[in-house]
Structure 1
Amino acid sequence: MWRSLQLQSTAKFILALRLSSILFLFLFLFSSHSSCHGYSVKAHIFTYAGCSQEKYQANAPFEGNLNSFLTSVISSSSQASYNSFAIGNGSSTPPEGTIYGLYQCRGDLKTTDCSKCIENCVNQISLVCPYSLGASLQLEGCYLRYEHIDFLNKLDTSLRYKKCSKAVSNDIEFFRRRDDVLSDLQAATGFRVSASGLVEGYAQCLGDLSAADCSSCLADAVGKLKTLCGSAAAADVFLAQCYARYWASGYYSSSSDSSREDRVGKSVAIIVGAVAGLAVLIVVLSFCRKAMG
């Protein structure tokens, strides 16, 4: 009798290990597919994120409103490339439960690509900024931000992210073309693409800015591109409510894109792997507990 119970326990334990192995394989394939799956213009590639130091407690009013906000964002992104929200700002909601937020896709994205990009934002922002009362996440093709204080329709040109390539040698023609592109981008009132010779670029303001504020924001962004990145062959500057970028044609070769995507893929894989590992551990311990009696 005891021998039989031992064999049954052993068989159950082996079954648990086999199931956990299958689950590990499934999660590995899923994370690999998620990190390698791409759609046009690679809009899902991570650029930067910002998280507030202030945190909210689980099951607090803010958490419920945040979930409502994220659900609304996903729904809205299938219809529009920009939208803003104010949730829980009525008299019945405590001030700490109020949430203000917005999302925006790059102006040249199709609606389907915009929606996919925003879904990626929504899926990542809680992992990158857990329990934060304020967070922002910029992917290559879209942007998502929320706060517990009202920031909508208020000009903010604070620097959020910059990236500068190696400097170009004394190429007078390049700098002339670059300045032509940046001058054109500075005049944008929404999303604008510009090119001059072998230099290309684009810029965009958030949808809540007026034309005057957009021009002011882009002037600041262009100024920072020149002062912070100097003679770089390619440069990106993201301010709180606008961004501007330029590059020499051919600079973003397939090899540099692949390298950048590999780094992002590894980062996502680490996050997914940690979550998956915890889930598998729980499953294995549950099976083992049942198997042992």
Structure 2
Amino acid sequence: MGIPSKTLLNPLSILSVFLIISGSLSASTIAADYTTLVYKGCSKQTFPITDGLYTQSLSALFDSLLSQSTKTRFFKTQSGNGGQTSFSGLFQCRGDLSNGDCSNCVRKLPEMADSLCRKAISARIQLYGCYIMYEISGFPQISGVELLYKSCGGSQVQGSGFEQRRDTAFSSLESGVVSGNGFYATSYESVFVLAQCEGDLGSSDCGDCVKTSVQRAQVECGSSVSAQIYLHKCFLSYAYYPNGVNRKSSSGGSGQNTGKTIAIVVGGAAGVGFGVICLMFARSLMKKRDGKY
């Protein structure tokens, strides 16, 4: 069943996913900062620094991914001739980013991967707006619903009715992400939700993945005011604003700025503590409602 139209946000009306990290940031800074690191996952195994074939193959992979970042929000390829030094990899941008923002986001990733993961034979670097993942040929595969990263908002929603509203939004999200080609954002009674699947995931598998992320959010985050659930093949985020979104400032109260975070990715990872992710109305939409557009 769909959500009442008066509370439904089309994915194209989502301006950005906003972040608050341990304090206040200006709304304009947060809106543009889709290149902020969410988490990194680096394998413990590394390739020999003295063997230039690995470096050349990984560099060729990055070049191939970057060349496509101005044309599409998802691209998957491999480098090398299929031997031991070959790498496969992909990038994906959030579904509401423009091609230009997608490219700007992706161009940050190779350097970050090199800096954060050194010579790891497998790595994933997740930013707010995009991520890159690569692995050497023959690297062990993990389940598509393997948990990579979780963040539950530190504050708990008081009073009754929240979980019903949240679950109603989740229900629409589960169906919407399938019909929306793997990306969907919506809201219901001040609960903002967003989900995205890996670009080559089939509709059925995408729906199953998001359903699993919903279940994890419900069980592991309970009545948290917000949550982020990143699985191997999809991710989910939600945030609850009972008093509405403050248009002048997205900093909110400090009580909601501390999240409980974990990261588990391909053999070793480090989480980045962060707070509430806020799905805002597009500025153009707000101007129309205010009669300013």
Does the TM-score normalized on the shorter chain lie above 0.5? yes
Mark the runs of 5 or more structure 2 residues left unpaired by the alignment.
1-25, 259-293
Aligned residue for 2:251?
Answer: 254
TM-score of the superposition, structure 1-length normalised? Answer: 0.69
Greater helix share, structure number:
1
- In structure 1, what residue type is equivalent to 2:124? S
Secondary structure, in 3 states, of the residue corresponding to 1:175? helix
1:1-293 equivalence runs, <5 A: 40-58=31-49, 59-90=51-82, 94-95=83-84, 97-149=85-137, 156-187=144-175, 188-189=177-178, 190-249=182-241, 250=245, 253-254=250-251
Residue 80 to residue 153, structure 1, CA distance change in 2 (3 Å): farther
Number of aligned pairs? 220
TM-superposed deviation, 1:182: 1.2
1:20-47 deviation per Cα after TM superposition (whole angstroms, max 9, x unaligned): xxxxxxxxxxxxxxxx995844211110
Q: Root-mean-square deviation (CA), in Å?
A: 2.7
Greater strand share, structure number:
2
Percent identity of paired positions between Structure 1 and Structure 2: 30
TM-superposed deviation, 1:150: 5.9
TM-superposed deviation, 1:129: 0.1
CA contact (8 A) 2:146 2:231 kept: yes
CA contact (8 A) 1:38 1:44 kept: no
Aligned residue for 2:272?
Answer: none
1:33-87 deviation per Cα after TM superposition (whole angstroms, max 9, x unaligned): xxx9958442111100100111111243221110011111111101111000121
* Bigger radius of gyration: 1
TM-superposed deviation, 1:216: 1.2
CA contact (8 A) 1:39 1:113 kept: no
1:184-232 deviation per Cα after TM superposition (whole angstroms, max 9, x unaligned): 2222130000100111010000012111111111111111111111110
CA contact (8 A) 1:204 1:244 kept: yes
Alpha-carbon distance in 2 for matches of 1:98, 1:128: 21
Alpha-carbon distance in 2 for matches of 1:155, 1:224: 15
Alpha-carbon distance in 2 for matches of 1:89, 1:241: 26
The answer to which of 80-89 and 166-175 deviates more is 166-175
TM-score of the superposition, structure 2-length normalised? Answer: 0.69
Secondary structure, in 3 states, of the residue corresponding to 1:254? coil
The answer to which of 234-243 and 58-67 deviates more is 58-67
Alpha-carbon distance in 1 for matches of 2:199, 2:216: 21
CA contact (8 A) 2:157 2:225 kept: no
Residue 130 to residue 256, structure 1, CA distance change in 2 (3 Å): farther
- In structure 2, what residue type is equivalent to 1:165? G
1:229-275 deviation per Cα after TM superposition (whole angstroms, max 9, x unaligned): 11100000000110011001349933679x89xxxxxxxxxxxxxxx
CA contact (8 A) 1:84 1:102 kept: yes
TM-superposed deviation, 1:149: 3.3
Alpha-carbon distance in 2 for matches of 1:150, 1:224: 30
Alpha-carbon distance in 2 for matches of 1:151, 1:216: 25
Moved over 3 A (4+): 36-41, 149-155
